[in-house]
Chains A and B, each alone.
Chain A
């Protein structure tokens, strides 16, 4: 048995030497490892999954963008539109596009017609998952080749945020989308620094540099975006030098271990995903605020942050994640107080404790948290009866309103309105035709959320958002626990071309200046 293996080994050594030489010569190709088994639907107006969003971000532009390396809308800057104006009420917006922006694969110059087509596509239910973001759009008019006018039904001061290269704000090229129809996801055509080149099922998507990119020819020649679902294999491939940039595990030990590897860097970045419990206030025993308050008092959030690791997680501050425009950074969250929790339960008529059911995903990173929560609640005589189900089943069951307590972890566009609307507005309540993710049956902040959305004065708008958050916290519609930052590792010879603090699409932007040193 030794001889054939010896022969194989010899061949392998020779091949690895040749391979190493080739790899050295190919340092203009970036190899990325993503925690996913395969690509999803690569249509920017349809997909909202982290693995797909990151990749699409490198292929598409918006009319505007958030400065690379940042995640907050305060850093909005020109992208395809080089300038824009709006009336005082924020109901009319005029965008002046850059001349000479080219669509990938010779689909011609990007004009106001393309921008109008993109926005109509993004606003249409049949072609977009994000149509509700554009519900306020009344008219989309290309005034000339490079001028686009948008008219809104009502004032929407934060409307510009929907036009960044994220979700429905991604600009697609009309001719390509019309030609390819359903097949657009197989060959997405945008205007970004990298264009789609190849897809190998279960292996990778390859992008190549867009030589006609309006900000200049990218310094990287290509990106190979590999789908590697096994955490261990992804780490080993990074360690062996087969990957330059990897999606990390949101664990303290992972950060410490990878940071110690020679030539490796690790960064935690915004947007954080907030982990929270959503309590169905319409069912017993949670319809009693004292029971909800008891649960809030029984959760030791500091201990959970310590458990998750302080380098990758932090305390949640409100029902909206910290750092979002309009977050109340000092919301009146309930303190950890087991005695108080027991007292409240007794007052509510449950002196011997209470049992509440929760349907929960088997996703390990979330399951470990609910197990800690379960143990903490037990100390206050609250028995959390957790039914574990597979992830897709979890999403279906919680949307069928079957779980009185829902543990959910999410990041959203960083404006308070989005989180408040999706998780706490009655319009988003599960079981209704317009449902998104309001599992709480709370509607007490509806008026404040609606008023804030159209309030032109930023100070008054923030005050309205704060009022909404205070109400939701006090009524214990949701219990924010902790925030989980995104974790990425990369080789220190890779210069991203900007300082990475955050990313709206949860992965580092790869731009025209990204290069190997």
Chain B
């Protein structure tokens, strides 16, 4: 187990180093000048050049690269070119918002998706199955910003139960009000994915010999489904949850924008629009780190769910 973790962590470090280099190159390949964006369209060429000097963009690329690499290894991501605030400070300010939204929506997605997938598989080609499949198809087809607007129209305007601006902190009730609609919005889309994966995994497991044997031995159907079949079907579900968690962090940007919530997705899009190189570099590395972490956790979770999986 320890050797496995060490080996995986080593690979993760190499990935991070490659990402650092790639990120540095990528953000500079994109056309657009941060100095121009900061100063606006009335700025003269002279003013733009002066701003480039202030931002350190006049120095050779190699100097900038090694400074970035050195800083990154020390855990110093520099300061945002636009706001002048440390990148890590800006990230830490919005990270909790993204985490709570992502984890809650994942919780909703799993809580709804797994049982729905099981029910659909158990009632294959019958009404509950058709219902679950149509619902999951709808969830997959609906762009998150459309469902977000619909939720707001319904629950913030027609029935004013929740605020439109979901960036509220403070009491538990205020937090609940703020998080409910965005979490439902993202959660139902996640549920759509999980429903489909769970259904197909369960159908595959139902055809296995041990399920037939269990039924032949007289094990109650409920126990066969929930204790024997589901546990075995969870491996692909965990894979998809792990993969989807990575996507979810990025996908949350539309939900963040429509519900006016701060978040990593919004931060990265803003940095991209403003060509904020330092912020983009820091953000992309942090994002990569999170994806690597999620993948590592997914691998480790396999062993916890299925004893046949050996961590070697």
Using CB atoms and an 8 Å cutoff, list the residues of chain A in contact with chain B.
Answer: 1, 8-9, 11-16, 18-19, 37-41, 46-49, 125-126, 128-132, 182-183, 185-186, 200-203, 226, 228-230, 232-233, 236-237, 239-240, 242, 389-393, 395-397, 399, 410, 412, 422, 428, 432-437
Contacts and interface: CB of A to CB of B under 8 A. Distances in A.
Contacts of B171: 15
A395 B153 CA distance: 36
Nearest to A185: B84
B177 A12 contact: yes
Given A131-B46, A201-B93, A229-B257, A186 B32 contact: no
A232 B267 contact: no
A16 B160 contact: yes
A396 B36 contact: yes
Contacts of A392: 31-33, 36-37, 273-275
A242 B259 contact: no
B269 interface: yes
Contacts, number: 190
B54 interface: yes
B200 interface: no
A132 B36 CA distance: 16
Contact of A126 (B54, B176, B269): B54
Interface stretch (B1-9, B161-169, B283-291, B304-312): B161-169
A12 B180 contact: yes
Interface in B139-177: 145, 149, 152-153, 156-157, 160-165, 167, 171, 173-174, 176-177
Given A237-B165, A242-B165, A125 B50 contact: yes
B260 A228 contact: yes
A410 to B, nearest CB: 7
B82 interface: yes
B36 A233 contact: no
Interface of B: 30-33, 36-47, 50-51, 53-54, 82-85, 90, 93-94, 112, 145, 149, 152-153, 156-157, 160-165, 167, 171, 173-174, 176-177, 180, 257-260, 262-263, 266-267, 269-270, 273-275
A128 B176 contact: no
Contact of B270 (A38, A46, A237, A422): A38
A126 B171 CA distance: 46
A233 to B, nearest CB: 5
Nearest to B90: A201
A13 to B, nearest CB: 6
Contacts of B39: 46-48, 129
B31 A397 contact: yes
A240 B45 contact: no
B47 A131 contact: yes
In this complex, which of B42, B46, B275 has the most chain A Cβ atoms within 10 angstroms of its Cβ? Answer: B42
Contact of B257 (A233, A395, A412): A233
Nearest to A437: B41
In this complex, which of B31, B90, B157, B275 has the most chain A Cβ atoms within 10 angstroms of its Cβ? Answer: B31
B83 A39 contact: yes
A289 B88 CA distance: 55
A120 to B, nearest CB: 15
Given A8-B180, A201-B94, A13 B266 contact: no
A128 to B, nearest CB: 7
B159 to A, nearest CB: 9
28 contacts: A11-B176, A12-B162, A12-B177, A13-B161, A37-B257, A46-B38, A49-B40, A125-B47, A126-B53, A131-B47, A203-B260, A226-B260, A228-B165, A230-B257, A232-B149, A233-B165, A233-B257, A236-B164, A237-B164, A237-B260, A242-B163, A242-B165, A395-B32, A395-B33, A396-B32, A396-B33, A434-B44, A434-B45
Given A37-B273, A48-B39, A433-B46, A390 B32 contact: yes
A9 B93 CA distance: 29
B221 to A, nearest CB: 23
Contacts of A428: 44
A39 B162 CA distance: 26
A366 to B, nearest CB: 12
Given A39-B83, A129-B43, A392-B274, A202 B94 contact: yes
Given A12-B177, A18-B173, A47-B39, A41 B84 contact: yes
B78 to A, nearest CB: 13
B136 to A, nearest CB: 15
A49 B270 CA distance: 15
B42 A432 contact: no
**Top 3 A-B residue pairs of the complex, sorted by shortest distance between their CB atoms:** A48-B40, A392-B32, A15-B173
A125 B48 CA distance: 9
A126 B47 CA distance: 7
A182 B84 contact: yes
Nearest to B168: A19
A36 to B, nearest CB: 9
A18 B172 CA distance: 13
B109 to A, nearest CB: 13
B31 to A, nearest CB: 4
In this complex, which of B46, B84, B257, B260 has the most chain A Cβ atoms within 10 angstroms of its Cβ? Answer: B260
A239 B94 contact: no
Given A12-B176, A437-B42, 17 more contacts: A12-B162, A15-B174, A18-B173, A37-B270, A38-B83, A130-B47, A132-B46, A200-B262, A201-B90, A201-B262, A202-B270, A230-B257, A233-B165, A242-B164, A392-B275, A397-B31, A410-B41
A201 B41 contact: no
B36 A240 contact: no
A185 B174 CA distance: 31
Nearest to B43: A129
A233 B36 CA distance: 29
Contacts of B163: 16, 19, 237, 240, 242
Contacts of B269: 37
Contacts of A186: 83-85
A131 B43 CA distance: 9
A226 B32 contact: no
Contact of B260 (A15, A233, A239): A233
A228 B257 CA distance: 7
A155 to B, nearest CB: 23
Nearest to A389: B31
A230 B258 contact: yes
A43 B25 CA distance: 30
A48 B46 contact: no
B87 to A, nearest CB: 11
A233 B258 contact: yes
A131 B45 CA distance: 11
Given A11-B176, A202-B266, A410-B41, A240 B47 contact: no
Contact of A15 (B149, B176, B259): B176
